[in-house]
């Protein structure tokens, strides 16, 4: 069987570790059947840095078949101890190569060195949580017996894996989000076919390369098919031998995937867009809040669905808050992504660059006040960079208040009453994340209860973790990831009864 060491030194044009034009199907690394490849672009330069395998529908069919065989014929679904050992081996293998893979990860995503460890290291650490869940979870539970006539009946509830699950991941944090989906699926006894985002294939490829070095992992339990063709994803989501689909990405694509899965009555979870608001209460500490708000929307160039992109502020304090946020944004240095202090970075590709600049122009055209930013940073002649951008006097009917921009753009929306603040925060189709800042605590918690979102950070509370449910209300998705809630998303529930002997 291929090993990580041999697979990751084939080398593309840039000789990047792990950047191989290979698929991982049925336990083997190899090229796409038709031999096709496509270029991978470094977002910080706009230049080609290597090649990825361009899988076609036939490759996806092959991966689905391999997964089906693995689920139906191996011990994987019925052996939690095996699953635990394999997940720990996967964690160990990824840990061993992480320093060599970091430059590759940064090249394909544009994630700056100052933040990339959050997206990579923590994802590896969390595998131990899922390994423990595989063996500690109570798959069989006995209910109280019932008596019918003179016969007592014992009753049980069993939790069993769904089967073959298609996983489609986005480009903004591809390694973390792939593991966030794959690990609980595997721990629960499912098998996986992963289709990484077109722009960031190597974060999926490295998972296949490490999996290929784990002798105990049955062939077909994990498959990775990279492709530049959207129809390959459609093969996965609509295939009759795929039992479920989990997707993270835009709401528009989520609707398409949900429709295909729904037509086949297929299990689906969707983690989609966000337009999260932070409601600042009247007594908010502006100095403490402004820099945190500016940093959060600029992190990874604002390319995060749960990032706070709107500040809902008391009207009489808007000027003060806007001045403080603008000063913080202007203080952020435009660092090279390899600098350990960098945290902003580029947008993923030219299409997104043009899209974000278009949203900024719409804000200007619709009457919002551009306070700072709004263009390409001075001196940036390569790559897909956008300045940290702040708008004030934004109203709920403006495009920049309603639609997910996915760039370093923050909209400030003023309010006069707390009821109006809640209405503004809830005025979009999204409901992924939210925040309330200020006090007293009982007021902040009351506002948190009224916000239509899957999570809420009250006064800077850190809610995200491997053991906490993550997902959204409204058009931000279906289902939950992480914790026991994410684990049980892909476990079927079976009721069993038998007469007492």
Tokens describing residue 487: 């684990």
403-406 contacts: CB < 8 A, separation 24 or more? 403/275, 403/359, 404/250, 404/251, 404/273, 404/274, 404/275, 404/305, 404/309, 404/430, 405/302, 405/309, 405/355, 405/356, 405/359, 406/172, 406/302, 406/303, 406/305, 406/347, 406/352, 406/355, 406/356
Contacts of residue 117, defined as CB under 8 A and 6 or more positions apart, other chains included, come to none
Residue that is written with structure tokens 């929306």 in the block? 413
- How far apart (Å, rounded) are the C-alpha atoms in residues 321 and 34? 57
Mind spelling out the 3-state secondary structure of 125-163?
A: HCHHHHHHHHHHCCCEEEEEEEEECCEEEEEEEEEEECC
Helix (H, G, I), strand (E, B) or coil at 88: helix
- How far apart (Å, rounded) are the C-alpha atoms in residues 269 and 474? 13
| 415-424 as b/e: b if 16+ CB within 10 A | beebeebbeb
Catalytic residue among 305, 404, 481, 489: 305
CA dihedral (212, 217, 220, 222) positive or negative: negative
Catalytic residue among 20, 108, 271, 489: 271
Pairing relationship of beta strands 409-415 and 308-314 according to DSSP bridges: parallel
CA dist 61 → 56, 65, 67, 73, 227 (Å): 9, 6, 10, 18, 13
Tokens describing residue 78: 């019925």
Contacts of residue 226, defined as CB under 8 A and 6 or more positions apart, other chains included, come to 23, 52, 53, 54, 55, 195, 196, 201, 204, 205
271 is catalytic: yes
Of 447, 397, 118, the closest CA to residue 277 belongs to: 447
CA dist 456 → 81, 231, 308, 434, 485 (Å): 36, 37, 11, 5, 17
∠ CA 295-301-303, rounded to 5°: 105
Mind spelling out the 3-state secondary structure of 375-439?
A: CCCCCCCCCCCCCCEEEECCCCCCHHHHCCCCCCEEEEEEECCHHHHHHHHCCCCEECCEEEECC
Pairing relationship of beta strands 164-168 and 151-161 according to DSSP bridges: unpaired
Query: Could you list the active site residues?
Result: 271, 305
């Amino acid at each position: 069987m291929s090993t990580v060491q041999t697979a990751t030194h084939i080398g593309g044009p840039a000789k990047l570790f792990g950047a191989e034009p290979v698929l991982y199907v049925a336990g083997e690394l190899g090229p796409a059947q038709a031999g096709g490849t496509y270029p991978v672009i470094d977002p910080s330069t706009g230049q080609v840095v290597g090649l990825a395998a361009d899988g076609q529908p036939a490759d996806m069919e092959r991966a689905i078949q391999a997964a089906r065989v693995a689920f139906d014929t191996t011990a994987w679904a019925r052996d939690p101890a095996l699953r635990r050992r394999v997940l720990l081996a996967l964690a160990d293998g990824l840990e061993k190569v992480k320093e060599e893979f970091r430059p590759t990860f940064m090249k394909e995503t544009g994630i700056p060195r100052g933040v990339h460890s959050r997206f990579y290291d923590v994802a590896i650490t969390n595998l131990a949580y899922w390994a423990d869940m595989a063996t500690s979870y109570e798959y069989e539970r006995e209910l109280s017996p019932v008596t019918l006539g003179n016969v007592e009946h014992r009753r049980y509830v069993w939790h069993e894996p769904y089967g073959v699950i298609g996983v489609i991941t986005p480009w903004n944090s591809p390694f973390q989000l792939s593991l966030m989906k794959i690990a609980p699926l595997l721990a629960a006894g499912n098998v996986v076919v992963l289709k990484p985002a077109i722009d960031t294939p190597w974060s999926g490829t490295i998972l296949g390369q490490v999996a290929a070095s784990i002798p105990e992992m049955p062939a077909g339990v994990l498959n990775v098919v990279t492709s530049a063709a959207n129809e390959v994803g459609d093969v996965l989501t609509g295939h009759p031998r795929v039992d479920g689909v989990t997707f993270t990405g835009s709401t528009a694509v989520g609707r398409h995937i949900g429709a295909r899965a729904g037509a086949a009555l297929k299990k689906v979870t969707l983690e989609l867009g966000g337009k999260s608001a932070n409601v600042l209460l009247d007594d908010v500490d502006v100095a403490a809040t402004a820099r945190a708000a500016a940093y959060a929307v600029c992190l990874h160039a604002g390319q995060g669905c749960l990032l706070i992109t709107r500040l809902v502020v008391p009207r009489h304090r808007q000027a003060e808050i806007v001045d403080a946020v603008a000063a913080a944004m202007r203080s952020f240095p435009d660092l090279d992504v390899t600098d350990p202090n960098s945290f902003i970075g580029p947008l993923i590709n030219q299409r997104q660059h043009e899209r974000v600049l278009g949203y900024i122009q719409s804000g200007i055209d619709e009457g919002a006040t551009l306070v700072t930013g709004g263009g390409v940073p001075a001196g940036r002649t390569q790559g897909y960079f956008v300045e940290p951008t702040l708008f004030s006097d934004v109203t709920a009917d403006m495009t920049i208040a309603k639609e997910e921009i996915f760039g370093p753009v923050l909209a400030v929306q003023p309010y006069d009453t707390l009821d109006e603040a809640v209405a503004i925060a809830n005025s979009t189709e999204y409901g992924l994340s939210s925040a309330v800042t200020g006090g007293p605590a009982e007021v902040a918690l009351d506002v948190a209860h009224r916000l239509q979102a899957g999570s809420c950070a009250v006064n800077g509370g850190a809610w995200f973790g491997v053991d906490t449910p993550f997902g959204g209300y409204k058009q931000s998705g279906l289902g939950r990831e992480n914790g026991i809630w994410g684990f049980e998303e892909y476990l079927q529930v079976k009721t069993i009864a038998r007469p007492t002997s």
